[in-house]
Amino acid sequence: MPDYGRATLACIKFLFFLFFVLLVLGCNRRAAEFQKADQAISQARGWRMNATHPQIPGLEPNIASQDMVKLRIEAIPPDREYVWQERMLQDNLVHFEYIRIGEENYIRGDDVTPHPVADWVPVKANQVFFQVNAMLQFRMKDPFDRKISTNISDLLDVSDLRDLGLRTYEGHTCREWAGTHYGPDMPSYYKDTVCLGTADHLPYHVHLEETKFDATYEWNPDISISAPEIGHATEAH
């Protein structure tokens, strides 16, 4: 008579082996995709980010969490950067612009403290604030000495990765990956996503669930960032 117990055991072992092989292949595929992204980012000449995120309640009077901040950053690594930010403040729409050239920093706008400045003025780096995760500023030298990484997997802070399929951002087809990580109020966890171009492996969309930061990227755009004309303006204090 056939030994069904032995046959069943052999079948179970085979299924476990097949699952292990598929798991390894999946992990290798994810690792390969992110390695390609790291390499593509390292070769990019520059990028433009358009982003939105909620304001931080309590940071300033009369700020509501439903008020969104609009942000645009143009960057030429490692240290040329243009920032435009717009938000609601005390029922008024305010904005500022910021330029960084090496160690030199300039700012103008009506969202500048302690008082608005209509024309460009030089400032110190620690006088400029915009809420952007340092790891989203790929290859840039950070003026605030925060950690900068070209490793896209560092951005996700992932314990696992899942393939969410194909999406389209900025006219580019990309594959969206989701990763979960535990927040400071464990056991809650957050799902962050990054979409890597299928043709060039560059990230075209990033969403950070915890901060509701949502950003799209253009890579190697035609941008030029130069120091503004200061005239007779003095440094802001």
Confidence at 31, pLDDT banded by 50, 70, 90: confident
The arithmetic mean of pLDDT across residues 9-13, rounded, is: 47
94, β-bridge pairs:
87
Do 33 and 102 share a structural domain?
A: no
Cis peptide before 78 (omega within 30 of 0): yes
Residue in the structure block whose two tokens are 């476990």: 16
| pLDDT(64) > 90 | no
- If one counts the domains in the chain, the total is 2
35 and 61 inside one domain: no
Co-location of 38 and 154 in the same domain: yes
Q: How confident is the model at residue 83 (pLDDT cuts 50, 70, 90)?
A: very high
For residue 74, pLDDT over 70 is answered with yes
Nearest to 101 by CA among 81, 120, 123: 81
pLDDT band at 209 (very low <50, low <70, confident <90, very high): confident
- Summarised one tens digit per residue, pLDDT across range 172-205 is 999 999 887 665 655 556 688 999 999 999 999 9
If you write DSSP's letter for every residue of 90-155 in order, what string do you get? TTEEEEEEEEEETTEEEEEESS-SSS-EEEEEEE-GGG------GGGSTTPPPTT-------HHHH
Please give the single-letter amino acid code of residue 121. Answer: V
What is the domain range of residue 164? 9-43+150-210
**171 or 12: whose pLDDT is higher?**
171
Q: How large a percentage of the chain has pLDDT more than 90?
A: 37
Per the listing, tokens 């075209």 go with: 204
Query: DSSP secondary structure string, 164-176?
Result: EEEEEETTEEEEE
| Structure tokens, 187 | 């056991």
Question: β-strands 80-89, 68-76: how paired?
Answer: antiparallel
Angle formed at CA 42 by CA 75 and CA 96, multiple of 5 degrees: 15
- pLDDT tens-digit map of 54-63: 876 555 555 5
Claim to verify: residue 52 and residue 126 sit in the same structural domain: yes
pLDDT band at 228 (very low <50, low <70, confident <90, very high): very high
Q: Cα 75 to the chain's mean position, in Å?
A: 13
Do residues 102 and 164 both lie within one domain?
A: no
